Structure 1
C-alpha cells in the first residue's frame, strides 16, 4: 500500500523527468546535426564572367599554281679510289660479280668504282683489295730472311764503302737471275722476308719516284730499306680479240714478264736478269721520255676472252729511284706515230685507269696513251 502511494504521489515528478530526458536527447541530436552541417560546408564556386573574344577569320592558303620543281642533283662519289684513292674509273659497272679471286674490289677515289667495292685505297702499285681483274702482288725484302735476320745483302750501317755495296748488289743480281730462269716464288718465300700486305695491280706504269714508295705501298716502310727489294705479281688476263700481242717496256732496275709460263720480255735497265733477249731490230731504239730505250718483247698468241696466266717481277737494286713502264701492242693494228716515229701504244691495263692515277703516271703522249683495250678477265 505504501509502494502504491509512493508512485501515486510521485507520478507527476516521474513524467516530468521522462519528458526532460527525451528533450535532452533531442537537443543532443539537434546540436550534432548543426555541427556536422557547419563542418561539411560546401566550398564556394567562383565563376568568371564570360568574356567576349573577337573571332579570327581564317585566311585561305595562297599556293602558286606554277611551281618550278627544284632539280635535285644525284649525289656524286667523292673524288680522290681513292683514293682519292682513289678512280675514267676502274669499273663503271655496278653488278655484283665474283671474280676469279673473289673479293669486292675497291673504291678508286676518283669518281668511279674500281672493282665492285667502296672506300679502299689504290696507288701506282695497286689496290688494297682485288675484284678478280688484277694481278696479285707480294713484296720481298732480299736483305732480310723470313725470321727478320740479315742476309748477305743486308746493309748493316749507313755509309758502307762502295766495294761492299757493289758486292751486295752483285748478290742481288744473282738472286734475280736465278729467279728469271726458274720463276720459283716458293724459293723467295723460303729465303726472304715477305710483307704481310698484298697489292692488286691493273697496270705497271710507275714514273720516276723514290724507291721507298714500294715498301710504303706494301706497308713495310718502317722495317725495309728502299733497296734490294722485289715484288712479284701473278694472275689471269684475257684478250679482247683473238690475235698476237707483245709488250714494250722499260724499268729501273728490274721488270720481267711471263705469259703462259714463257718469258716474253725482260725490260730491266742496263743489264738483264735472265738469258732472254729481244729479236726485234728496233729493240731499245725508241725512248720513253727521259727514260732509256724501250725493250721490245716477243709475240705471243691469245684467244678472245680466254683466261691466260701472266706473271710480272719488278725490283730495285741500289735504291734511289725506281720506275717501270709496260705497253702492249697487237699485231696487224696501225698505231699513230709519236716520238722518233715510234708507234703510240696503249698502256697495258686490265681495267680502266682511275682518273686520279692518270696524271700520276706521267705518260708521255708521244709514246703511250691510257686509251686502249682492257685485258681483264671480267668484262
Structure 2
C-alpha cells in the first residue's frame, strides 16, 4: 500500500488551517477598515473643536479691552475740560438771571417788570416782549394807511358849532366802524383801512388810571401824527390759568374796553353812553354797573369761561377813545369758588388781571383803589 502524504493524512486539519487563515485575513482587513473609519471620525471631531475655541477667546478678549478703556483717565480729563467753559458761561449768564421773578423777562430792578424787556415802560406796555405779554397795535381811524385823512376825519372850518356837529357825526361813524370790526375781530380790517403806528407795545395788564387821551399815541410814538381821539389799540396773545377753574373779568373803561377769550366775547365794558352800540353783549349779574369807585362808572361783570391749568388759550383786548379828553381802563379777574375779602359796597376785592407780577415801581402810576382791587393774586402768563 502506498504511503499517504502529510496533507492526505491530515486533510481535515489542513482544511481547518486554511479556513482559519482566510478568517484571519478577513479579520485583519475588517479591523483595518474599522480603524481607518474610527481615525477619520476622530479627525473630524478634532477639527471641529478648534473652530469653536477661537470664538470664545475673542469674546473673552473683548471684556478686558473694555475694562482697560474704562480705567483710562479720560473721563477726568473731560471733566476738567468741561469745567472751564462752564465757569465762563455762568459768568456771562449770571447777570441776565439776576432779578428774574415770576416768568421770562421779569427784571424788577430795571423797572421792566411784567411788561417784558422794553427799555421804556408805560401803562400801555413795554417796547419788547418775552412771550408772556399781549402784543398791542395802535390804529388811528382818522387816517388811512398812507396817513391821508380818512372818512372819519374832520376838517376844521373855524365855525365852532359846525365843527362840533361834525365831530359828533364822525364819533357815530367811529362806533359803526368798531362795530364792524367786532363782528369778526380780524385786525386785517383795521390794517387795510387805517393808519397803524410803526411799533407795537407788549402789555401784561390793563390798569390805566384817568389820564389825558394823548398819552396813548405818545406811548406808541405817534403823538406828532395822531390827534388823541377816535383811536383804538388791539392786543392779542396767549394766557394760561394757574389752576383749572372758571374765571370771569370785571372791567371798566372810558371809552372802550372789550375782551375775548377762546374767540368768544366775555366782556363789553364800554362807556355807558355807547352800551349796546358796538356789541349786543350784556351781563347777567345783578350787580353789573352798580359797583362804582370814585369818579369811575360802575364795573361791568363779564361771563364765566373755563380754563385748564397751564393750557394756553387765545385772548384779545380792544381799548379805545372816541371824543378825546381823558381815557382810562381797568381789568380785574375773579375765580369761581374763591372767597375774596370784601371792600366797598360789599364787593369782592379782586386781583388785577396780569400775565406777570407787577413791578413795584409801576404800582403808584396805576392808582389802585385798595377797596376795589389788589396787585396780588394769580399770574396768567404762559411762561412759568
Which position in structure 1 is the counterpart of 2:153? 154
Which position in structure 2 is the counterpart of 1:139? 138
1:113: Cα distance to partner?
Answer: 5.5
- Give the one of 92, 101, 113 matched to 2:101: 92
Which position in structure 2 is the counterpart of 1:246? 248
- Give the one of 371, 375, 378 matched to 2:376: 371
Q: Which moved more, 1:335-344 or 1:267-276?
A: 267-276
- Whether the 8 Å contact between 1:107 and 1:120 is mirrored in structure 2 is no
Q: 1:173 to 1:115 in 2, by over 3 A?
A: closer
Q: Distance in 2 between matches of 1:280 and 1:221?
A: 39
- Whether the 8 Å contact between 2:114 and 2:355 is mirrored in structure 1 is no
- Give the one of 329, 336, 340 matched to 1:335: 340
1:161: Cα distance to partner?
Answer: 2.5
SS at match of 2:328: strand
Q: Distance in 2 between matches of 1:226 and 1:338?
A: 34
Q: 1:277 to 1:251 in 2, by over 3 A?
A: same
Q: 1:291 to 1:221 in 2, by over 3 A?
A: same
SS at match of 2:360: coil
Q: 1:344 to 1:110 in 2, by over 3 A?
A: farther
Deviation readout 1:351-376 (Å, 9 max, x if unpaired): 01121111100011110000000000
Q: 1:260 to 1:354 in 2, by over 3 A?
A: same
TM, length-normalised to structure 2: 0.70
- Runs in 1 of length 4+ with deviation above 6 angstroms? none
Q: Which moved more, 1:300-309 or 1:179-188?
A: 179-188
- Give the one of 181, 184, 191 matched to 2:183: 181
Deviation readout 1:89-122 (Å, 9 max, x if unpaired): 8x5269xx6xxxxxxx4755656755774x7111
Does structure 1 residue 121 correspond to structure 2 residue 120?
Answer: yes
SS at match of 1:182: coil
Q: 1:269 to 1:113 in 2, by over 3 A?
A: closer
- Give the one of 312, 321, 325 matched to 1:320: 325
What's the Cα RMSD here? 1.8
Q: Distance in 2 between matches of 1:137 and 1:110?
A: 22
- Whether the 8 Å contact between 1:254 and 1:313 is mirrored in structure 2 is yes
SS at match of 1:175: helix
TM, length-normalised to structure 1: 0.71
**Which ranges in structure 1 are unaligned for 5 or more consecutive residues?**
1-88, 98-104
- Whether the 8 Å contact between 1:289 and 1:367 is mirrored in structure 2 is no
1:156: Cα distance to partner?
Answer: 2.3
- Give the one of 274, 277, 280 matched to 1:275: 280
Q: Which moved more, 1:282-291 or 1:136-145?
A: 282-291
- Whether the 8 Å contact between 2:132 and 2:239 is mirrored in structure 1 is yes
- Whether the 8 Å contact between 1:106 and 1:120 is mirrored in structure 2 is no
Q: Which residues in structure 2 correspond to 1:303-314 (within 5 Å)?
A: 303-314=308-319
SS at match of 2:181: helix
Which position in structure 1 is the counterpart of 2:34? none
Q: Distance in 1 between matches of 2:226 and 2:239?
A: 31
**Which ranges in structure 2 are unaligned for 5 or more consecutive residues?**
1-98
Q: Which moved more, 1:326-335 or 1:158-167?
A: 158-167
SS at match of 1:162: helix
Deviation readout 1:308-336 (Å, 9 max, x if unpaired): 10000000000000000000000000001
Q: Which residues in structure 2 correspond to 1:196-215 (within 5 Å)?
A: 196-215=198-217
Which position in structure 2 is the counterpart of 1:353? 358
1:281: Cα distance to partner?
Answer: 1.1
SS at match of 1:250: strand
